[in-house]
Chain A
Amino acid sequence: MNFEISITGFVAIYIFMLAAFGGWVIIGNVPAILHTPLMSGSNFVHGIVVVGGLFTLFNASSVTQQTIGFFAVLMGAGNVAGGYAVTDRMLAMFKTSGHAAHATHGKAHKKSSAKKS
């Protein structure tokens, strides 16, 4: 059995269409309060481009290709790591006025102000 993936013509268009529709539906339900983390989160998700960057760099066979491939991986890695770091930080801050939230509030508060100094 051959496991190499081969996507051509209409199959590619079907994948694109279904994925776009899925994205539209999933994001359509997100309340406005989460728009920033959502944008930052989807920003992280397209960081998967680093996988393509790695593939390209591994297959580079000239100095030009190696140089551009290097930057592809460098930028892709930045996208992934940075996108995760900021999204995780933002989401950790959302809490309700319930009792549990207040208990953790002091700690988170201290941490964030320490970072700024």
Chain B
Amino acid sequence: MLSNIVHLITGTADLIAAFLFLYGLKRMSSPVSAPSGIRVAGLGMLVAILANLLNVFTVDAAAKPHLAVNIVLAAVALLLGASAAWFKGRAVAMTEMPQMVAIYNGLGGGAAGAIAAVELFGNKTHGISELVVTLLGGLIGAVSLSGSAIAWAKLDEILKKPMRFPGQRFVNAAVFLAALVVGGYIVFTVSYGGAPLLPSNSILWIFFGLTLLAGILITLPIGGADMPVVISIYNAATGLAVGFDGYVLQDPALMIAGMVVGAAGTLLTLLMAKAMNRSVSNVLFSNFGEASKKKQGKMIGSEKPVEASDAGIFMRYAASVIVIPGYGLAVAQAQEKLYEFVKLLLAARVKVRFAVHPVAGRMPGQMDVLLAEAGVPYDLIFQLDAINADFATTDVALVIGANDVVNPAARTDKSSPIFGMPILNADKAKKVYVVKRGQGKGYSGIENQLFYEKNCDMVYGDAQAVLVQMIEAVRGLGSAKAA
């Protein structure tokens, strides 16, 4: 009787939660309603978690003697995990968002993998289909955990360079296959054992060890510029694992939330890959960047350095400016100085807009968030398709910390590794200023012909320092002229 009431309450709460998740995500599709979207989804989460605490009244007979200990463990885990993640998430700088999303996603994958592990170790699955789904949930969750952890370490620059060794693809494939074979063996022993032949614990440890290793190995060789794709793949993977766990635990809220995220993550992954003109498997398995070690066509012309103050004053008297931010802006934490400079230009009646490339930065849309943090109104921010045609009629393109996304080789040079990638046509502007830390290639190691063009001048220096000089130069002109 009591357990039936609990089922009624948790069932209703899960239904409400599933609806609120969908509605919340729907609200996130416009910048105006988005802030309320996360609160709607948050309410759904709260309802689901609180109601499901009632499950303490429905535990298995085998778990009854342990219930008191389990409740204490659950309370400690909830408080510890939630408070640590909450305070970290509140305190961290906006520029570090990609690694935070990576690590929180990894935690979700780990939780999904751990749930599958408990079901398997406790031999709680009934029937072959449930066993297979549990193994899949465990596999995907564990790969997502270890893969996201490596992605986090790369984004946090704990791991500085992509790790590559000869035969890496072969080793990766072998480890992944081995995990699948062990999983298959577990299914085989159970299905042909007649009576529920238990998969022994040691085989399960091997299974999870291999899957964790596979996640690490797959992620290690991937370069930082490919991180937008990697993060969204693991986001989708965690969603899928959660959905599978939902089936095993007979919880439709997990099934729905997991699958929605799985589909959303897949869509986003495809969008990112398309923005780089590469397939998802190419990102994961091709060790991007190796090709660039080959000889490239000679650059024609020379890089012409100019003073930041001169560039700043030139822009002050231009009619229109398009700013192209890249990852270098995030590294230099210069987003607020950039907007300060842009506000001076706006005050001087210069038409200023921002052009954001889909894969600029280290996660999808990272530049949009950085500009928003600095206070840039989102109606000044334009995406590639919306603004690309306007470069030809623009006086100045100001490229800050971006490189590959403005490399004309993507349009013209068939031998370039980025050939075919849609780029921002900064080179079409009448004048181009490139703010860069120093001479040298971008993250992917590809030379950029843009820097050598006649209409392009280089402003060397840390983005923040350069912008301060530009601001001072424009202010130095006096407000009388600006008005």
Interface residues of A (CB under 8 A from B): 1-7, 9, 12, 15-16, 19-24, 26-62, 64-66, 68-98, 101, 105, 108-109, 112-113, 115-116
Contact = CB atoms under 8 A, between A and B. Distances in A.
Given A52-B242, A109-B375, A82 B89 contact: yes
B71 interface: yes
A24 B107 CA distance: 24
A64 B201 CA distance: 10
Interface string B261-273: 1111111100100
A32 B259 contact: no
18 contacts: A22-B260, A34-B28, A39-B101, A41-B25, A52-B112, A53-B115, A54-B52, A58-B71, A72-B118, A73-B78, A77-B82, A82-B85, A85-B89, A89-B90, A94-B35, A95-B377, A96-B377, A96-B379
Which secondary structure dominates where chain A touches chain B? Answer: helix
Contact of A46 (B31, B108, B145): B108
Interface stretch (B243-251, B413-421, B431-439): B243-251
A59 B28 CA distance: 36
Nearest to A13: B247
A41 B28 contact: yes
B169 interface: no
B69 interface: yes
Contacts of A52: 111-112, 115, 242, 245-246, 249, 251, 254
B45 A44 contact: yes
Given A48-B45, A97-B377, A87 B235 contact: no
Interface of B: 3-5, 7-8, 11, 17, 21-22, 24-26, 28-31, 34-35, 37-39, 41-42, 45, 48-49, 52-53, 55-56, 59-60, 62-63, 65-67, 69-71, 73-74, 76-86, 88-94, 97, 100-101, 103-105, 107-108, 110-112, 114-115, 117-119, 121-122, 124, 129, 145, 201, 231-232, 235, 238-239, 242-243, 245-247, 249-268, 271, 336, 356, 358, 363-366, 368-369, 372-373, 375, 377-381, 383
A97 B378 CA distance: 7
A85 B82 CA distance: 10
A7 B252 contact: yes
Given A31-B31, A37-B369, A80-B45, 20 more contacts: A24-B264, A33-B383, A45-B21, A45-B257, A49-B254, A54-B53, A55-B52, A56-B249, A57-B118, A61-B66, A65-B122, A66-B66, A66-B69, A66-B70, A70-B73, A71-B111, A79-B85, A80-B85, A82-B86, A90-B372
